[in-house]
Amino acid sequence: MRVLGIETSCDETGIAIYDGERGLLAHSLYSQVALHAPYGGVVPELASRDHIRKTLPLIRQVLDEAGLLASAIDGVAFTAGPGLIGALLVGAALGRSLAWGWNVPAIGVHHMEGHLLAPLLETPAPEFPFVALLVSGGHTQLIDVQAIGRYRLLGESVDDAAGEAFDKTAKILGLPYPGGPELAKLAELGDPTRFRFPRPMTDRPGLDFSFSGLKTFALNTLQHELPQAADPAQTRADIARAFEDAVVDTLIIKCRRALRETGQRRLIVAGGVSANQRLRERLTAALHADRATTFYPRLSFCTDNGAMIAFAGWHRLMAGQSEPLQFTPRARWQLSELPPL
């Protein structure tokens, strides 16, 4: 079965074709970063309009790259949520209509299930069961994964998601949108010994996270240090490093705890923040010491992409699941509401 995947939940249009026998045949991404950059963040209405412009041309391009006619597509998967409702509506309306026109089944994919399954596109792919750490712009969750669709939430952020904390702290430091990767770059120049930020909620039991206090800590440190700083650029870099170290340490502490509590030996990490090099290196080393193995998507599939949607949709369509003609995008949607395969 060959599935066309359409991702339009936020500020990237991602298209891909996944084939059950041959794997990923083609994928392409159009990023709206330049469109939103002047506003310092994603403007939902502009995002929706741009998805309308880009989705169909990108589908044509990906079909061409795969050397396929539309008649070779056996199913269409589109992101049905969670995300920006207008942006979701574009992908859902186009995806559902194409499937109707081509007379093939359609499936609305949960965006976070897409992220969660992305490491399975790599070799070696992790075997089930495993613990998943999902760290994106909208979510920070630890999930006990027994199989596709069998998800038990172990813990999540009670306020900002890890990616959101990166983006807000980047803004405080005067970095351009999108802030996460920019902050990570600046942190490379920082002195790890100058400031120490707290590791929130690690001093009590449980697997929940809280990241919103870290951006306030960054703001207070900046306001306290800048007036007397001999080298303001270095001070900013030192704060970026202290912030990144605090997020990474916190995630490592909770991941170790989650593996201990579930008795699992495999951790997968996915979502935009899983592209963070310091997180990947330090988490892999820490878990290796515990004799656990860590799995990540390739860097380009950490952030939003069409491949993960085509892949997740393929699994669900193969299991016989599909959408009726009336589709329902959902801005909010819990992973635990998904049916098992």
**79 is a site residue for Zn ion (CB under 5 A):** no
Q: Which is nearer to ligand KG4, 91 or 163 (CB)?
A: 163
| Chosen from ligand KG4, Zn ion, none, partner binding at 178 (C-beta under 5 to 8 Å by type) | ligand KG4
CB 41 → ligand KG4: shortest distance, Å?
10
* SS3 labels along the chain: CEEEEEECCCCEEEEEEEECCCEEEEEEEEECHHHHHHHCCCCHHHHHHHHHHHHHHHHHHHHHHHCCCHHHCCEEEEEEECCCHHHHHHHHHHHHHHHHHHCCCEEEEEHHHHHHHHHHHCCCCCCCCEEEEEECCCCEEEEEEEECCEEEEEEEECCCCHHHHHHHHHHHCCCCCCHHHHHHHHHCCCCCCCCCCCCCCCCCCCCCECCHHHHHHHHHHHHHHHHHCCCHHHHHHHHHHHHHHHHHHHHHHHHHHHHHHHCCCEEEEECHHHHCHHHHHHHHHHHHHCCCEEECCCHHHCCCCCHHHHHHHHHHHHCCCCCCCCCCCCCCCCHHHCCCC
181 makes contact with ligand KG4 (CB under 6 A): yes
Q: Does 82 bind ligand KG4 (CB under 6 A)?
A: no
Residues 6+ apart with CB under 8 A from 219: 172
Residue 63 engages ligand KG4 in binding (rule: CB under 6 A): no
Q: Judged by CB under 6 A, which of 105, 114, 163, 190 binds ligand KG4?
A: 163
Least distance (Å) from Zn ion to the CB of residue 143? Answer: 15
Residues 182-211 that bind ligand KG4 (CB under 6 A): 184
Residue 306 engages ligand KG4 in binding (rule: CB under 6 A)? no
Q: Which stretch binds ligand KG4 (CB under 6 A): 21-29, 57-65, 149-157, 160-168?
A: 160-168
Give the Cα separation of 108 and 316 in Å (integer): 9
Tokens of 331: 């801005």
- Taking CB within 5 to 8 Å according to partner kind, which of Zn ion, ligand KG4, none is near residue 323? none
| Minimum gap (Å) between residue 251 Cβ and ligand KG4 | 11
Identify which of residues 73 and 333 has a Cβ nearer to ligand KG4 in the complex: 333
Residue 8 lies near Zn ion (rule: CB under 5 A)? no
Q: Taking Cα atoms as reference points, which of 189, 190, 181, 145 lies closest to residue 163?
A: 181
Q: Which is nearer to ligand KG4, 45 or 188 (CB)?
A: 188
Q: Is 136 in the site for ligand KG4 (CB under 6 A)?
A: yes
Residue 121 partner contact from Zn ion, ligand KG4, none using kind-dependent CB cut-offs of 5 to 8 Å: none
- Residues 6 or more apart whose CB falls under 8 angstroms from that of 183 comprise 166, 169, 170, 173, 175, 240, 243, 244
Among positions 12, 50, 167, 304, the unique one binding Zn ion when judged by CB under 5 A: 304
Which listed range, 65-73, 177-185, 255-263, 307-315, lies at the site for ligand KG4 (CB under 6 A)? 177-185
Partner touching 179 among ligand KG4, Zn ion, none, CB below 5 to 8 Å by kind: ligand KG4
Q: Which is nearer to Zn ion, 55 or 136 (CB)?
A: 136
Residue 272 touching ligand KG4 (CB under 6 A)? yes
Check binding of 136 to Zn ion (CB under 5 A).
yes
C-alpha dist (Å) from residue 32 to 44, 133, 248: 11, 26, 28
Stretch that binds ligand KG4, among 46-54, 266-274, 315-323, 329-337 (CB under 6 A): 266-274
Residue 275 in the binding site for ligand KG4 (CB under 6 A)? yes
- Residue 138 binds ligand KG4 (CB under 6 A): yes
| Chain positions contacting ligand KG4, by CB under 6 A | 10, 136-138, 163-164, 166-167, 178-181, 184, 271-273, 275-276, 303-304
